[in-house]
Amino acid sequence: MSTHKKLIVLSFIVLMFVFASSLVFAQRACDFGGKAQAAEAKGVVEVGNTVCPVSGEKIEAGETVKAEYGGKTYSFCCKMCVKDFKKNPEKYIAALKAHK
């Protein structure tokens, strides 16, 4: 077998190994509780705020919209507040801390 063919076969084997490994990792993330566990594996922490950092309104259970920033997940009253938060997150995080 020529060197060129050996290189192609070796490359194919490496790619298959990488693909199989990624499938195993994805399956394990699902087995451990899905998105919440995958977020924890990345080091994301749920802030658990009950007041929207943008509007200051109380967040009703079941109506929560979430966004991640700086390794933390914040809750909001609506998608528009998330949009405003993403423009200047530090401002709204400071407001949330002051609200506590």
Rounded Cα–Cα distance for residues 46 and 36 (Å): 9
pLDDT, mean of residues 65-80: 93
Phi, psi of 19 (to 5 degrees): -60, -45
The structure's pTM equals 0.56
Residues 44-67: pLDDT tens digits? 899 989 999 999 999 988 778 999
**Dihedral sign for Cα atoms in the order 31, 32, 37, 42:** negative
Q: Which residues contact 75 (CB under 8 A, 6 or more apart)?
A: 47, 48, 49, 50, 52, 59, 64, 65, 66
**Is the model more confident about 88 or about 22?**
88
Does the structure show a pLDDT above 80 at 3? yes
Does the structure show a pLDDT above 70 at 32? no
Rounded Cα–Cα distance for residues 77 and 79 (Å): 7
